[in-house]
């Protein structure tokens, strides 16, 4: 019998077949075998984690690293440290808010050079779609991006403008030729322009400035374009529960559409947000508690496919914490390190299992991005593992967060679930960066 480099045992291993006692045998950074615990595989090193859950490393396909160009907001070293601390072993970086944005092959190379040697977890890259780069999409695909992101509204940064519905359709026609994936920030600019403007500390005013109808109409337009072209599309950071029926109907009609939501839409509500609490600002916004309940229903019934962080950090001064002005504050929530315990805390309250959380936060994001060796504990997958204590509680202390700026709406909240250790290709993540840069073919 082969002796493996490492064997990790647990009475609670989360495999594609369910949770069970097992030994996970690792060779050359890959999972070589998963055996019943009463027939453990021999290893040069054996670790028994007892009753802690052994789960696959999470895959977060919605992370804004911002390096280069806005590295003072976040960078590859700090973002990937935070990821590892939160049980995330793979992130996919958004094409903005870095400068240059990832809209050309040359810009992709600039970003890859900026990331080289700094990453504590594996990193893939999305390309971007803007009005003047439609000719760059095929070269970006050939260079290995995992798909393409666009906005149907103002992105918030001038170097990454939104696209029109016609430009979206042209991009989808190009993407379908290579079976590429287009991921969409779906808020309709006309509806946002028609909404009341927001200034000051009223969260109700901010909500009114980003109405659910803007999401719903944009999602309807994406569905129509996908149906007409046959392209694969993915709805980013769904916050409007009223769009669930549109997505469910499109899936029944075999439209090639998937959707994600984020921890803050599942765990936070508009009722939580006090006047001037701009640490809660994100776009689209956190909506009311009944809306959150419906998002949970959509997640449970499969209308929503996955949960990712939309980690979108900035320096504290850009959150306008001193003035509490929602109109001026940057819209983004940093949750890369906290996403797992936040989702698990609320999932367990609603009767969901840790296996369901792993499907939402590891298996399905990996499938979305085409990362065929990520997101499961099974032979042939990378040995990306997390040792997780699901019943242990902790209180969120911003000073212990690893991302660059310790601003969080979760400060002081008690959460369930502690990450004991994170393993990347069979080696525990330490203070030495060992992450790799991933491409579409990897």
Q: What is the pLDDT of residues 123-168, one digit of tens each?
A: 999 999 999 999 999 999 999 999 999 999 999 999 999 999 999 9
Q: What is the pLDDT of residues 370-410, one digit of tens each?
A: 999 999 999 999 999 999 999 999 999 999 999 999 999 99
pLDDT band of 438, cuts 50, 70, 90: very high
pLDDT band of 442, cuts 50, 70, 90: low
**Helix boundaries (H) for 52-202:** 76-85, 105-115, 137-142, 165-177, 189-194
Q: In angstroms, rounded to a whole number, what is the distance separating the alpha carbons of residues 4 and 45?
A: 8
pLDDT of residue 312: 96
pTM above 0.95, yes or no: yes
Average pLDDT in the 254-269 region? 98
Q: What is the pLDDT of residues 322-369, one digit of tens each?
A: 999 999 999 999 999 999 999 999 999 999 999 999 999 999 999 999
| Inter-axis angle of helices 212-229 and 244-252, nearest 10 | 10
pLDDT of residue 39: 67
pLDDT band of 44, cuts 50, 70, 90: confident
Q: In angstroms, rounded to a whole number, what is the distance separating the alpha carbons of residues 43 and 262?
A: 39
Of 39-43, 187-191, 251-255, 395-399, the one with minimum mean pLDDT is 39-43
pLDDT of residue 280: 98
pLDDT band of 40, cuts 50, 70, 90: low
Beta-carbon count within 10 A of 411 CB: 14
For residue 152, what are the contacts with CB-CB under 8 A and spacing of at least 6?
Answer: 162, 163, 165, 168, 184, 185, 186, 187, 188, 189, 218, 221, 222
Domains of the chain: 6-51 (no CATH), 57-371+402-409 (3.20.20.140)
Average pLDDT in the 225-230 region? 98
- Residue 26's DSSP bridge partners are 6, 31
34-42: which pairs have CB atoms within 8 A and are 24 or more residues apart? 34/377, 34/378, 34/379, 37/9, 37/11, 40/7, 40/9, 41/1, 41/2, 41/4, 41/7, 42/1, 42/2, 42/3, 42/4, 42/7
Tokens of 244: 């669930």
**Helix boundaries (H) for 21-136:** 76-85, 105-115
Q: What is the pLDDT of residues 16-28, one digit of tens each?
A: 999 999 999 999 9
- DSSP sequence for 344-370: HHHHHHTT--HHHHHIIIIIHHHHHHT
User: Cβ(126)–Cβ(149) under 8 Å?
Assistant: yes
Average pLDDT in the 64-84 region? 98
Average pLDDT in the 414-431 region? 97
pLDDT of residue 38: 64
């Amino acid at each position: 019998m082969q002796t493996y480099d490492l064997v990790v045992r647990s009475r609670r291993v989360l495999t594609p077949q369910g949770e069970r006692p097992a030994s996970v045998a690792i060779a050359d950074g890959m999972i070589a075998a998963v055996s019943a615990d009463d027939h453990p595989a021999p290893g040069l090193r054996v670790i028994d984690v007892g009753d802690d859950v052994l789960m696959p490393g999470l895959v977060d396909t919605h992370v804004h690293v911002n390096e280069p160009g806005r590295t003072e907001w976040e960078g590859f070293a700090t973002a990937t440290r935070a990821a590892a601390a939160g049980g995330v072993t793979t992130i996919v970086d958004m094409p903005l808010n870095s400068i240059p944005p990832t809209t050309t092959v040359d810009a992709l190379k600039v970003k890859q050079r900026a990331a080289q040697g700094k990453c504590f977890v594996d990193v893939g890259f999305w390309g971007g779609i803007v009005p003047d780069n439609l000719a760059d999409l095929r070269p970006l695909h050939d260079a290995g991006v995992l798909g393409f992101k666009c906005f149907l509204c103002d992105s918030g940064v001038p170097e990454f403008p939104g696209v029109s519905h016609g430009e979206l359709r042209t991009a989808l026609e190009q993407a379908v030729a290579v079976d590429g994936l287009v991921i969409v920030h779906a808020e309709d600019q006309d509806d946002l322009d028609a909404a009341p403007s927001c200034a000051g500390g009223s969260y109700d005013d901010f909500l009114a400035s980003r109405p659910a109808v803007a999401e719903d109409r944009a999602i309807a337009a994406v569905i129509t374009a996908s149906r007409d072209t046959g392209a694969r599309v993915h709805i980013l950071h769904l916050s409007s529960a009223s769009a669930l029926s549109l997505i469910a109907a499109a899936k029944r009609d075999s439209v090639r559409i998937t959707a994600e939501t984020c921890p803050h839409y599942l765990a936070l509500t508009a009722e939580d947000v006090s006047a001037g609490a701009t640490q809660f600002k994100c776009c689209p916004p956190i909506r009311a508690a009944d809306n959150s309940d419906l998002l949970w229903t959509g997640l449970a019934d499969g209308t929503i496919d996955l949960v990712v962080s939309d980690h979108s950090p900035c320096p504290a001064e850009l959150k306008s914490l001193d003035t509490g002005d929602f109109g001026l504050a940057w819209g983004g929530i940093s949750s890369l390190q906290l996403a797992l315990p936040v989702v698990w805390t609320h999932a367990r309250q609603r009767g969901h299992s840790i296996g369901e959380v792993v499907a939402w936060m590891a298996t399905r994001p990996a499938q979305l991005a085409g990362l065929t060796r990520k997101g499961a504990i099974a032979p042939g997958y990378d040995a990306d593992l997390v040792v997780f204590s699901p019943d242990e509680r902790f209180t969120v202390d911003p000073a212990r967060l690893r991302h660059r700026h310790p601003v969080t709406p979760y400060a002081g909240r008690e959460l369930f679930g502690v990450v004991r250790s994170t393993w990347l290709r069979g080696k525990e993540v330490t203070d030495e960066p060992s992450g790799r840069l991933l491409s579409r073919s990897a």
